[in-house]
């Protein structure tokens, strides 16, 4: 039973380019969360999605960031026109539901470096 | 609003010694509390969680934590440290209301285990 799969593991982008981060949730999980971890900090919630719906995007920067979870395929976190401050580890987590008996399962993250 | 404070960004213990990692939370509603462990270049793994019921919860790898409402604390302990426990530990809170799987994390405590 594969866990949460994120790719790529490492991504290097120059300032102004676009970054696309992919997340395939665990089998049977229809809830996906994206978190960002800046150096020496804890994880910060970005967005919560279910299939084809954004449920909570209260942690997403207002500009340049978007997320989707289509009916088919992985969830995508997209960052347009990246800047140095976007350099961080981005973690995806999935759960089968949203109750407290549905703990989050995390992927190994995508480490984005903006040069 | 919820928040988590982890006292001590770095903790060092000798192998075989008691491990105590501190976590205090702030929540206006009954909290759900979690401890996660992160090994280098990996995602977060759930150690244990408190939702309702018994305030002393046992997790994997010999760790346990006690929910103390009067102290708003959820400290993580292990009687005897092992070298393999060296990692970063995150305390997190969510709530009964809203999205229970949306977590607010502390900034983490890096545990070092020495011979």
Distance from CA of A26 to the nearest CA of B (A): 14
Matching residue, tokens 């809830």: A31
In the structure encoding, which two tokens stand for residue B75, read together? 């400290």
Mean pLDDT across A83-111: 88
Matching residue, tokens 């696309």: A20
Give CA–CA dist A79/A83, Å, rounded.
9
pLDDT at position B63 is: 97
Tell me how far apart the terminal alpha carbons of chain B are, to the nearest angstrom: 41
For residue A56, pLDDT beyond 70: yes
pLDDT at position B14 is: 97
Sheet containing strand A19-24, edge to edge, reads A5-7, A19-24, A75-79, A65-68
For residue A44, pLDDT beyond 60: yes
Give CA–CA dist B49/B54, Å, rounded.
11
Q: How confident is the model at residue B41 (pLDDT cuts 50, 70, 90)?
A: confident
For residue B100, pLDDT beyond 60: no
Residue A65's closest CA among A5, A15, A21?
Answer: A21
Sign of the alpha-carbon dihedral angle for A112, B43, B71, B78: negative
Q: How confident is the model at residue B103 (pLDDT cuts 50, 70, 90)?
A: confident
Burial class (CB in 10 A: 0-12, 13-18, 19+), A79: buried
pLDDT at position B40 is: 86
Nearest to A104 among B42, B101, B108 (CB): B101
Distance from CA of A108 to the nearest CA of B (A): 4
Contact A31 B101 (CB under 8 A): yes
Q: How confident is the model at residue B99 (pLDDT cuts 50, 70, 90)?
A: low
Instruction: Give phi and psi for B16, each to the nearest 5.
Output: 95, -15
């Amino acid at each position: 039973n594969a866990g949460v799969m994120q790719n790529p593991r490492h991504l290097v982008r120059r300032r102004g380019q676009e970054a696309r981060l992919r997340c395939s949730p665990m089998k049977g999980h229809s809830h996906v969360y994206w978190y960002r971890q800046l150096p020496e900090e804890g994880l910060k919630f970005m967005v919560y999605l279910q299939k084809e719906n954004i449920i909570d995007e209260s942690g997403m920067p207002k500009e340049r960031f978007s997320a989707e979870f289509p009916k088919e395929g992985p969830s995508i976190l997209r960052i347009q026109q990246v800047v140095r401050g976007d350099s961080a580890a981005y973690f995806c987590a999935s759960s089968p539901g949203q109750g407290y008996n549905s703990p989050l399962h995390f992927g190994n993250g995508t480490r984005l470096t903006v040069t | 609003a919820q928040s988590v404070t982890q006292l001590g960004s770095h903790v060092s213990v000798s192998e075989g010694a008691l491990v105590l990692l501190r976590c205090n939370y702030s929540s206006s509603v009954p909290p759900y509390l979690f401890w996660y462990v992160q090994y280098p270049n990996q995602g977060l793994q759930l150690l244990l969680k408190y939702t309702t019921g018994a305030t002393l919860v046992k997790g994997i790898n010999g760790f346990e934590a006690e929910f103390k409402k009067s102290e708003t604390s959820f400290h993580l302990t292990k009687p005897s440290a092992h070298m393999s426990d060296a990692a970063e530990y995150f305390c997190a809170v969510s709530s009964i209301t809203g999205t229970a799987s949306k977590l607010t994390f502390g900034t983490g405590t890096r545990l070092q285990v020495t011979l």
